[in-house]
Structure 1
């Protein structure tokens, strides 16, 4: 069994890398490796500017946000390091700031640093 995902066209698992693409040996369908990585996590998570976010990235808050359960707001320009993607959800990420731990943030208020 290969480490590459099943073919999106025929669903067979007989796939292999070929340069910057993944090829299905059964039907001959080709697709870029970058798309294969994105489909492994389920969905592409994009910031407000359209940049693709991945686990471990650093993001910056683009506007002041009130935080439920805390009297400390997240100010514009706050850096959130080492984010985690929420599985199956392309609108939220998990992360922590210096002062507030365990945040779940909407990506429409974030940009990649």
Structure 2
């Protein structure tokens, strides 16, 4: 069974290939596997649903305990020049003024 045999819309396996497209016999959805792979690229979003990109600035929305440090990350702390974690839309890397090398969950961040 091919990796493209599952319908991306209804997730059923009743699909067939028609030329360059795949067609779902159950819901009628048609898709091109190359375009579907490009659309499936990892999109990182903050707590409000805004798309984050490498180099953005984010703000911490609640106090966070930091493992390995006695200094908590306070609400309102600015993290500049973030880096995205490859293949993980829930985490970003960045540095605050006091703590370097942070890996933070995006659910606790908002875009500045």
Superposition TM-score, scaled by structure 2 size: 0.67
CA distance in 1, matches of 2:33, 2:106: 33
Equivalent residues, number: 81
Equivalent positions of 1:1-113 (< 5 A) are 9-11=32-34, 42-113=41-112
Say which one has the larger Rg.
2
Deviations 1:20-43 (A, max 9, x none): xxxxxxxxx8xxxxxx6x76xx30
- Structure 1 stretches of 4+ with a deviation exceeding 2 A read none
Unaligned runs of 5+ in 1: 1-7, 12-28, 30-35
Superposition TM-score, scaled by structure 1 size: 0.66
| Secondary structure, counterpart of 2:42 in structure 1 | coil
How far residue 108 of structure 1 moved from its aligned partner, in angstroms, is 0.2
CA distance in 2, matches of 1:46, 1:73: 23
CA-based RMSD: 2.0
